[in-house]
Amino acid sequence: MISEFAPAKINLSLHLVGQKSDGYHLLDSIVSFVNVGDRISIEPGKSGDLKVAGPFAKDLPRSNHNLVLKAARLFNNIKLSRITLEKNIPVTSGIGGGSADAAATVRLFSKFYNKPELTVEKLISLGSDVPVCMQKGIVRMMGVGEEIINLSPAPKVGILLVNPRKALSTAEVFSAVKEKNNPGLNLQGSGEKSLNSWFDWINSMRNDLTASAIDLIPDIRFILDKLITCDGARVVRMSGSGATCFALFEDFDLLQDARLKIMKECPSFWCESGELI
């Protein structure tokens, strides 16, 4: 069995800057990745079905099962091996999920079968977040997901992820947004070497989907308020369309203290710590 890690994708910021005539929304977003995520494995010589395992396997909708297989089937003229998806992060949670799994499948099949990686057009046919999930470090994602600019390696920053274990429809969140033509990102500060300046830069941004997501799941506001009270939290925000929220930490000891605090006060929530990669 050979495998590929599918790191969770974090929207450190998400600016909604417009909407196309076909309904697709235009974004300007700073994205990073964490050492928390799913894993895709293949067993050469075994039949080409899909097995789903892991703590969130039972929550995965059947339609999402197909995204990994759809990614594999984009590689022509190969006999599909058995694929195992180890689902370790909540489903429909604003941190990549199926897109990260599809991207990991593409990387795995490309390496194992010695095939070139897929074009952006093919990647985006799987989902608007799939092209960015092929990247590493700090990335700017624009348009409907097809415009990617790699900015820098990830700084040594810890992250606490909290999700209320409630799935949130991306389409519903976007539909509920009242203002869809907002200012884009200001890249002044993106090249700062100082970690304090980098945190200031991220804090100067926003997530334009937060208010509509809170209207649909009020627990998001509860989580954000909890994270703000954690000692050492330098940035607190919702990722993507929610419902996962995060806090960034420079001090990894304070990060673990915050994790224990949230787990004690909110035992029903999913709570995981890691670092940007």
Length of the chain: 277
- State the pTM of this model: 0.94
* Sign of the dihedral through C-alpha 48, 54, 56, 58: positive
Instruction: Reply yes or no on whether the pLDDT at 155 is more than 90.
Output: yes
Average pLDDT, the chain: 94
Q: Which CATH superfamily is domain 154-275 in?
A: GHMP kinase, C-terminal domain (3.30.70.890)
Write down the pLDDT at residue 65: 58
In this structure, the strands spanning 25-43 and 82-86 are: antiparallel
CA–CA distance, 45 with 83 (Å, rounded to integer): 11
196: three-class secondary structure by DSSP: helix
CA–CA distance, 14 with 209 (Å, rounded to integer): 8
Mean pLDDT of 51-75: 84
* Sheet of 245-249, strands arranged across: 233-238, 245-249, 158-163, 270-275
Q: What is the DSSP letter of 4?
A: E
Write down the pLDDT at residue 187: 85
In one letter, which amino acid is 100? A
277: three-class secondary structure by DSSP: coil
Write down the pLDDT at residue 139: 97
167: three-class secondary structure by DSSP: coil
What is the CATH number that goes with domain 2-147? Answer: 3.30.230.10
Instruction: Reply yes or no on whether the pLDDT at 31 is more than 90.
Output: yes
**In the chain, what are the domain boundaries?**
2-147, 154-275
Catalytic residues, which ones? 9, 129
